[in-house]
Amino acid sequence: MSRYRTTGLFVLLAALWGSSFVATRAALSAVPPVLLAALRFDIAGMLMLWYAIVSTDRWRPSTRSGWIEVSVGGVLFVAAHHALLFIGQQYVTSAVASIIVSLDPVLAAVFSSLLLTTERLSWNEIVGICLGVFGTTFIVKPTSRTLASADIRGIGFVFLAAGAFALGAVITKRYRTSIPAQSMQAWMMLIGAALLHAASVGLPNESLASVTWSPVALAALGYLSIVGAGGGYLIYFTLLDRIGPVQINLIGYVAPVFAALNGWVFLGEPITVTMFFGFMTITIGFVIAKYDEIGEEVTRLRQFTLIRE
């Protein structure tokens, strides 16, 4: 029964994060992108901070290294990633954005090989990364005409967003402390939200006065803050403890399916054959890149099953 609950949570998280791309697209029709990201993490950060206060006695960093950790996460995980992602989503569909973001694990492998001396790319990881890049290129299909178009610019912003998230994961690993995950995430969100507000002030058309508050915009913001960020991260950390980092990384390759389906149902965004094959290529690349780790997890699971029987 526990395995079924874990699987159910995994699918639920993929659905929540996949549909967040659609909620973002809906909210962007009324709220400027950077301001939208800032407001999202105002709400999510306060909720996560409340959860940290009631669930642990270490609700804030108490050391310099702890503040470095949450500051790096606030800059890269929250501020840079979401500002670039929300700007990019003005020009690309939910499905395309989610597929490009699914390159996070692939980009993280590249940054790890460059910045972490204890980690080097193996041949299967190199092949997997190449397939991931090819899959994304297959989806984008850049030509001399489209390279100057808004869509290509949007894809560039989303790709940089994925890079910021991957780089944040690698740098944070170098400064990881013993601060509880919920406390770490709360302060990352709050620091990131403050930076997003600062950036929003300096951008044109990025003010509360420019927001058209409609029921759709309020519902989308509520979903992104409470469900996508707040509830999503709670499920994420629960699954991280249960199944480990290798299997939870697969969430990035399931979420695009839900993003595409929700975009098709709610926004009328088309699902093309090219997108499907691009997604499959990225998935195969990830499996090849993580072949050894996945094999170890499968062996461990089989041994556990035999012991239980």
Q: Is the pLDDT of residue 245 over 70?
A: no
| Cβ proximity of 248 and 240 under 8 Å | yes
49-71: average pLDDT = 89
| Cβ proximity of 28 and 89 under 8 Å | yes
Q: Supply the DSSP string of 196-242, one letter for each residue.
A: HHHHHHTSTT-SGGG----HHHHHHHHIIIIIIIIIHHHHHHHHHHH
- If one compares 39 and 101, the residue with the highest pLDDT of the two is 39
pLDDT tens digits along 247-259: 566 676 667 677 7
Of residues 39, 8, 2, 16, the one with CA closest to residue 222: 39
Q: Which of 55-59, 115-119, 174-178, 243-247 has the highest mean pLDDT?
A: 55-59
- Give the residue carrying structure tokens 């890149």: 289
pLDDT tens digits along 41-57: 999 999 999 999 998 88
Q: Cβ neighbours of residue 306 under 8 Å, at least 6 residues apart? A: none
Of residues 74, 73, 14, 91, the one with CA closest to residue 38: 74
d(CA 47, CA 298): 36
Q: Is the pLDDT of residue 294 over 70?
A: no
208-224: average pLDDT = 88
Q: What is the pLDDT of residue 219?
A: 92
Name the least confident of 20-29, 104-113, 164-173.
104-113
d(CA 233, CA 189): 11
Q: Is the pLDDT of residue 29 over 90?
A: no
Q: Supply the DSSP string of 38-99, one letter for each residue.
A: HHHHHHHHHHHHHHHHHH-S--S--SHHHHHHHHHHIIIIIIIHHHHHHHHTTTS-HHHHHH
| Cβ proximity of 251 and 13 under 8 Å | yes
